[in-house]
Structure 1
Amino acid sequence: MSRSASRTLALVILAAVLACAVSGGLAAWRFHHKNPQAPVVRLDEYVVMGWVGWDSSWYMRIAEEGYSFTPGEQSSVAFFPLYPLAIRAVEALGPDVYQAGVLVTLLCGPLAILLFLRWARFRAEEPLAFQASLLLALYPFTFFLYGVMYSDALFLLLVVGAFLLLEKGHLGLAVLLGAVATAARPVAPAVVLGLLARRLEWKRERGERWTVLDFLPVLSALGFLLYMLYLDKQFGAPFAFAEAQAGWGQEPGWRSVLKLSWFKTVFFSHANAETVSRLCLHALLTLGALVLVGPTFRKLGWGYGVYCAVLVGIPAVTTKDFMGMGRYLISAFPLFLTLALLLRDHPRVRQGILAVGAVSLVLLSAAFGLDHYIS
């Protein structure tokens, strides 16, 4: 069953990648040809164009020019360094910077989902692990793992790998992978606390006493800390990545906590239907994720509960209008197994979710290729 499930999942991922590539590429062609002055490009380049947009330009700039920081303005320091470094490494092999970014995501995203299946087998029986993998593979915003020049695929691969190694008892390697992961996205508290809580829980499940070595997961923060040291040395501002958020109107404070911007846009402005529906979608997904955190504690244990609570909670509190949450939730991978466990006796509901997710993957890929702001 395990080999059959892996093959089936691989085929589903391949189909999803191809569908997203076609929809995104066709949409990029349509967007490109709105401009009669647009230069002619090769057919294969439209696929890359369909996967490059919005934050991709920041990663391109970092890979090509390095970091810059202007207090109070949008600055590249808001984006963590691991993904641009990976792009630069692949670019050295011959592809241009955009092709390199797409290749990094294409390599990491599908591999992360296959690795998720292996991890899920440690926490549930085979059929449920497979169902959870399908829920992740066909989650609407998972198209960001199928080629989009964003860092989510790389981070997910690393963090799933870290927890998988932890389940296998390879503490040192898990901590190492966790440390690399915290250099990819600003969610170090979730990774560190999640790995630490799971390690202590893992030892307790085996009836073993804790030792000093069991607290090694705190070293997973090294990737995050090294980036802070770099920012301090380069710009004299170790928290420049957080300060730069002001450039996007994401200042910390009660306005963000209370989501006043969200309420204003949705209920009291003349925003168009696309903007309102987009903000409502991200808000609903955030609410759904928060609802799943409680069952995750009960069904998967404190380690994964803590990881999801912190990973979902930080952006849910700090974002001004929930924008981007749909994509951020991909990294809360245990929630997909929790959902599969809750839907164990509701196959039709699960099938409906998968069908909606598959259609949404294609539609969101097309929207991204058309340069709509998705997440």
Structure 2
Amino acid sequence: MTAGPPPAGGRPARAVPADGPGAPLVLGLLLRWARTPVLVRVLLVYAAARLVSAAVLAAVARFQEPSDWTPEGAGYRDMLGLWDATWYRRIAEDGYPGAVPRDGAGAAQQSELAFYPVLPLLVRALGAAGVPFETAGAAVALLAGAAAAVGAHLVLERAARAAGAGAAVARRAAWSGAVLLCVSPPSLVYQVPYTEGLALALLTGFLLALLDGRWLTASALALLLGLTRPVAVPLSAVVVVHLLVRVRAARRAAPGGAPARPAGRDLLRAGVLLASSAAAAGLWPLTAWWLTGERDAYTATMGAWRADGRVEWLRPWWDVSQYLLGDVAGPLALVALVAGYAALLLSRRAAVLGPELRAWCLAYPGYLLLVLDPFTSLFRYLVLLFPLGGLVALRPGRRGTLWALVAASLALHVVWVAWLWRFSPPADWPP
């Protein structure tokens, strides 16, 4: 086929690439993104997700009705102080009560004693410099959430490599887990005065120290976590699994499979780790006892949030399953759900997480199943199961699956904020 005549002026027209004039720009951005250190990319994803959360919260604020918590025409900053943030404000400004508040019949009432002290103490430190509570609380949560996102990537990659996964699989698992942590439906809690981001930062630090064999560091972080959120009980299960794995590896490495004799220093460090992880679970209940002089100060206060005024093991889940699906189908569905989840974590596919992360993903929901009433705050509690996001990297068509989950998470994020974070007076479901 012959070429047409040149355009007026005698110079041939410059050919436009088939991909359009923007193709070089897109390619350049992709190359720059690929060359960016992976932890910087995690932080960029985290920052973008927090901008989305801020935009959603600002939009939802326009529909917030006036209440004891929010004024007429509430704005973004007003929305930061809703729900449990009010309890943390009271602790940061006034401290804890010296006795368990009770009604005329002697039943414990809701009070600050149900809320752990690390977050309000950090906020109080900023408040002493003149920073308003909402700003200080949001700053602590934002920084802790960023540390948690980076920590999740480091933990998942380290665990996958230790489990024998190839470098590429380990990188993919770490990336998908960190990204999904950043965009999860309740991820607004990483920028409001709540403790999930802080607990995640300490949890990932604990797991990373554990995997690296820095047991004394892990012990200190376990104790801090025991004063941040009521999630320290499952840590003991993770520690036991980790030590058993180490003993088994030592036996395999010993000549002829002879029992290995750990050094006295290792035994001491292991003992400190076990003791610290166990003590972390009772640290705040004991502190509440010391503050009030009442042995059951913490458990009695926690019971004030329950329908029957006390904490019951497992029964609320059974009752709710029967309420939703019937007396027979409900419990059967609950058992099937628990069994299916356990089978997934114990399967070969989940081996990429390594024994410690699998132990956490089994022990933590098991703990929630035992002590928690199933209600709307469960969505928020489940963000601590961040290792499950790493399994997305193993699915066929993993990239499409990951970005589909990101899109779904962001859509559900809008639903979560509009449905649960927005308060409809006089009473509403908590986030």
Do Structure 1 and Structure 2 share a fold, with TM-score over 0.5?
yes
> Which residue of the partner structure matches residue 172 of structure 2?
127
**Are the counterparts in 2 of residues 28 and 369 from structure 1 also a CA contact under 8 Å?**
no
Residue 96 (structure 1) aligned with residue 119 (structure 2) = no
- Kindly tell me: are residues 92 and 9 of structure 1, through their superposed partners in 2, closer, same or farther at Cα, counting changes over 3 Å? same
- Kindly tell me: are residues 333 and 239 of structure 1, through their superposed partners in 2, closer, same or farther at Cα, counting changes over 3 Å? farther
- Kindly tell me: are residues 95 and 292 of structure 1, through their superposed partners in 2, closer, same or farther at Cα, counting changes over 3 Å? farther
Deviates more, 1:243-252 or 1:9-18: 243-252
Residue 47 (structure 1) aligned with residue 76 (structure 2) = yes
The one-letter code of the counterpart of 2:272 is: L
Residue 64 (structure 1) aligned with residue 93 (structure 2) = yes
The one-letter code of the counterpart of 2:236 is: V
**Are the counterparts in 1 of residues 314 and 369 from structure 2 also a CA contact under 8 Å?**
no
**Are the counterparts in 2 of residues 192 and 220 from structure 1 also a CA contact under 8 Å?**
yes
In structure 2, what is the Cα distance between the partners aligned to 1:203 and 1:254? 33
> What percentage of aligned pairs have identical amino acids?
24
In structure 1, what is the Cα distance between the partners aligned to 2:140 and 2:155? 22
- Work out the number of aligned pairs and report it: 354
In structure 1, what is the Cα distance between the partners aligned to 2:195 and 2:339? 24
In structure 1, what is the Cα distance between the partners aligned to 2:241 and 2:89? 36
**Are the counterparts in 2 of residues 26 and 366 from structure 1 also a CA contact under 8 Å?**
no
* Structure with greater helix share of residues: 1
In structure 2, what is the Cα distance between the partners aligned to 1:374 and 1:257? 17
> Which residue of the partner structure matches residue 16 of structure 1?
49
- Higher-Rg member (1/2): 2
1:156, distance to aligned residue in structure 2 (A): 0.7
Counterpart selection for 1:305 from 358, 361, 372: 358
1:357, distance to aligned residue in structure 2 (A): 0.7
> Which residue of the partner structure matches residue 277 of structure 2?
220
**Are the counterparts in 2 of residues 176 and 220 from structure 1 also a CA contact under 8 Å?**
no
> Which residue of the partner structure matches residue 13 of structure 2?
none
Counterpart selection for 1:117 from 140, 143, 153: 153
> Which residue of the partner structure matches residue 242 of structure 1?
299
Residue 259 (structure 1) aligned with residue 314 (structure 2) = no
Residue 357 (structure 1) aligned with residue 409 (structure 2) = yes
Output one character per residue of 1:106-136: Cα deviation in whole Å (capped at 9) or x when no partner. Answer: 1101221111111111123212211221122
Counterpart selection for 2:376 from 323, 336, 352: 323
- Kindly tell me: are residues 287 and 30 of structure 1, through their superposed partners in 2, closer, same or farther at Cα, counting changes over 3 Å? farther
Other structure's SS at 2:63 match? helix
The one-letter code of the counterpart of 2:271 is: F
- Kindly tell me: are residues 258 and 181 of structure 1, through their superposed partners in 2, closer, same or farther at Cα, counting changes over 3 Å? closer
Output one character per residue of 1:157-199: Cα deviation in whole Å (capped at 9) or x when no partner. Answer: 0110111122222221111111111111112211232134224
Output one character per residue of 1:274-312: Cα deviation in whole Å (capped at 9) or x when no partner. Answer: xxxxxxxxx999898656543487443332233222211
Output one character per residue of 1:141-169: Cα deviation in whole Å (capped at 9) or x when no partner. Answer: 22212x12211111110110111122222
In structure 1, what is the Cα distance between the partners aligned to 2:312 and 2:318? 10
In structure 2, what is the Cα distance between the partners aligned to 1:61 and 1:287? 42
1:40, distance to aligned residue in structure 2 (A): 6.8
Output one character per residue of 1:181-237: Cα deviation in whole Å (capped at 9) or x when no partner. Answer: 111111221123213422442454464755422232221344444423322222233
In structure 2, what is the Cα distance between the partners aligned to 1:221 and 1:48? 39
The one-letter code of the counterpart of 1:128 is: A
Counterpart selection for 1:76 from 90, 95, 112: 112
Deviates more, 1:219-228 or 1:86-95: 219-228
In structure 2, what is the Cα distance between the partners aligned to 1:82 and 1:302? 29
Other structure's SS at 1:31 match? coil
1:344, distance to aligned residue in structure 2 (A): 5.3
- Kindly tell me: are residues 30 and 347 of structure 1, through their superposed partners in 2, closer, same or farther at Cα, counting changes over 3 Å? same
Counterpart selection for 1:340 from 392, 395, 400: 392
In structure 2, what is the Cα distance between the partners aligned to 1:255 and 1:307? 19
In structure 2, what is the Cα distance between the partners aligned to 1:288 and 1:371? 35
Q: CA RMSD in A?
A: 3.3
Other structure's SS at 2:82 match? coil
Deviates more, 1:153-162 or 1:20-29: 20-29
Deviates more, 1:228-237 or 1:176-185: 228-237
**Are the counterparts in 1 of residues 231 and 364 from structure 2 also a CA contact under 8 Å?**
yes
Residue 155 (structure 1) aligned with residue 199 (structure 2) = yes
- Unpaired stretches in structure 1, ≥5 consecutive residues: 269-282
- Unpaired stretches in structure 2, ≥5 consecutive residues: 1-33, 102-106, 161-169, 254-259, 327-334
In structure 2, what is the Cα distance between the partners aligned to 1:22 and 1:142? 13
1:341, distance to aligned residue in structure 2 (A): 4.6
- Kindly tell me: are residues 209 and 57 of structure 1, through their superposed partners in 2, closer, same or farther at Cα, counting changes over 3 Å? farther
The one-letter code of the counterpart of 1:215 is: G
In structure 2, what is the Cα distance between the partners aligned to 1:260 and 1:2? 53
